[in-house]
């Protein structure tokens, strides 16, 4: 996540006026599907012997190299010192911590459950905005918050699933959602003219340094036991990172922030379906109902007439 990314980080430029062009819709859906595959690719990597630290170092490192190559070709303007500091903080602290929570939760809990719990982050972004008085409460926003809260209750009432440590997994997944909400709040303050590929390169580089330092101190960085692990790592770095971010940014320019955010709801659906097919994981009836309520809250939040800056930053 995701943004992550995560979740992966999906930091977009100011969205254009929604045009409804089919190409933009397709690009956003490709992005959502790519992000949705992160959980399955991560679990396969863990099966190959990767630790969370090793996986994150490889994912961020490979993605950073690719983004820097793109930056070298594009040659965007350099960021201001303040923007650079914020970007480094977003990667070294926000993105690294959010991804650690998300991928850590995948080792404790079913992938479908982790993906659904992560998607309470839009409601948390709204809560932060209300506390900061950037947003004012109204019936639609309160309805979205209630919908998300009810969905979360149903998800938890339905049981945490067949993970190895469900309670810890739930706590880590919610930690990923909370961290991502803070990440989005800070990222929304970056100037619109900051090149998104340069920002992604800085964020991924800072995250690489952060998780590498932690892994070295903790002694948790090592090669996978199975050679297939390297293939899963490269797939994780390219598909739900580089490809997902690139297609999202392209689609965002064509359909606008609100539409792109709604289309991103395909992500947890893909995660749930892929986990069911590959690992036989699934959600119980109450959890399916709760997942629907959480996703409905995202749609309610995004279908408003006046676009907000935080809509241009959508998770891993």
pLDDT tens per residue across span 185-227: 888 888 888 898 999 999 999 999 999 999 999 999 988 888 9
Greater pLDDT, 248 or 16: 248
Q: Write out pLDDT tens, residues 157-191.
A: 755 555 557 889 999 999 999 999 898 888 888 88
Q: Write out pLDDT tens, residues 108-120.
A: 988 888 988 998 8
Q: Which is nearest to 104 in space by CA: 22, 20, 172, 175?
A: 172
Cα(5)–Cα(246) distance, integer angstroms = 13
- Is it the case that residue 271 has pLDDT exceeding 80? yes
Q: How many CB atoms lie within 10 A of CB 284?
A: 15
Q: Write out pLDDT tens, residues 239-249.
A: 998 999 888 87
pLDDT for 258 equals 65
pLDDT for 176 equals 94
Positive or negative, the Cα torsion across 21, 27, 30, 32?
A: negative
Lowest mean pLDDT among 38-42, 89-93, 288-292: 288-292
Is residue 15 within 8 Å of residue 253, measured between CB atoms? Answer: yes
Task: Give one word for 20, left, alpha or beta, with left for phi > 0 and alpha for psi -120 to 50.
Answer: left
pLDDT for 303 equals 65
- Is it the case that residue 4 has pLDDT exceeding 50? no
| List of residues 6+ apart from 6 with CB closer than 8 A | 35, 38, 95, 98, 99, 102, 180, 240, 241, 315, 316
Tell the residue number behind the tokens 């964020």, with chain if given.
203
Q: How many CB atoms lie within 10 A of CB 287?
A: 24
- Is it the case that residue 283 has pLDDT exceeding 80? no
Q: b or e along 222-258 (b: 16 or more beta carbons within 10 Å of the residue's beta carbon)?
A: eebeeeebeebbebbbbbbbbbbbbbbbbbbbbbbbb
Cα(303)–Cα(306) distance, integer angstroms = 9
Q: How many CB atoms lie within 10 A of CB 49?
A: 15
Lowest mean pLDDT among 48-62, 65-79, 243-257: 243-257
- Computed over every residue of the chain, the mean pLDDT equals 83
pLDDT for 99 equals 93
> Mean pLDDT over residues 289-312, rounded?
67
pLDDT for 145 equals 83
Cα(271)–Cα(195) distance, integer angstroms = 29
pLDDT for 304 equals 59
Q: Is 219 helix (H, G, I), strand (E, B) or coil?
A: coil
| Terminal CA-CA length for the chain | 4
Q: How many CB atoms lie within 10 A of CB 157?
A: 12
- Per this entry, what is the length of the chain? 316
pLDDT for 43 equals 93
Cα(6)–Cα(38) distance, integer angstroms = 8
- Is it the case that residue 260 has pLDDT exceeding 90? no
H or E segment at 92?
none
pLDDT for 232 equals 95
């Amino acid at each position: 996540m995701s943004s992550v990314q995560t979740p992966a980080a999906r930091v977009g430029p100011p969205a254009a006026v929604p045009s409804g062009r089919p190409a933009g819709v397709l690009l956003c859906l490709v992005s959502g599907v790519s992000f949705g595959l992160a959980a399955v690719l991560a679990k396969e990597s863990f099966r190959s012997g990767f630790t969370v630290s090793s996986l994150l170092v490889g994912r961020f490192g490979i993605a950073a190299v690719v983004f820097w190559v793109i930056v070298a070709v594009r040659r965007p303007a350099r960021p201001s010192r303040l923007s650079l500091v914020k970007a480094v903080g977003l990667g070294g602290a926000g993105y690294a911590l959010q991804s650690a929570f998300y991928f850590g939760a995948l080792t404790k809990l079913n992938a479908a459950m982790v993906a659904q719990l992560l998607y309470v982050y839009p409601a948390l972004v709204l809560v932060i905005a209300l506390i900061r008085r950037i947003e004012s409460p109204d019936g639609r926003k309160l309805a979205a918050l209630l919908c998300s809260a009810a969905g979360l209750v149903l998800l938890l009432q339905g049981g945490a699933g067949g993970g190895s440590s469900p309670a810890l997994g739930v706590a880590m997944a919610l930690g990923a959602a909370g961290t991502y909400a803070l990440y989005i709040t800070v990222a929304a303050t970056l100037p619109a003219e900051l090149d998104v590929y340069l920002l992604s390169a800085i964020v991924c580089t800072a995250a690489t340094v952060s998780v590498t330092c932690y892994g070295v101190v903790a002694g948790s960085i090592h090669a996978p036991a199975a050679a297939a692990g390297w293939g899963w790592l490269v797939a994780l770095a390219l598909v739900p990172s580089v490809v997902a971010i690139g297609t999202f940014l392209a689609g965002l320019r064509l359909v606008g922030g609100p539409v792109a955010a709604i289309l991103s709801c395909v992500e947890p659906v893909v995660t749930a379906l892929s986990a069911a097919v590959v690992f036989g994981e699934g959600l119980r009836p109450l959890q399916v109902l709760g997942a629907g309520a959480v996703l409905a809250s995202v749609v309610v939040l995004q279908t408003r007439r006046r676009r907000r800056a935080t809509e241009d930053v959508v998770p891993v």
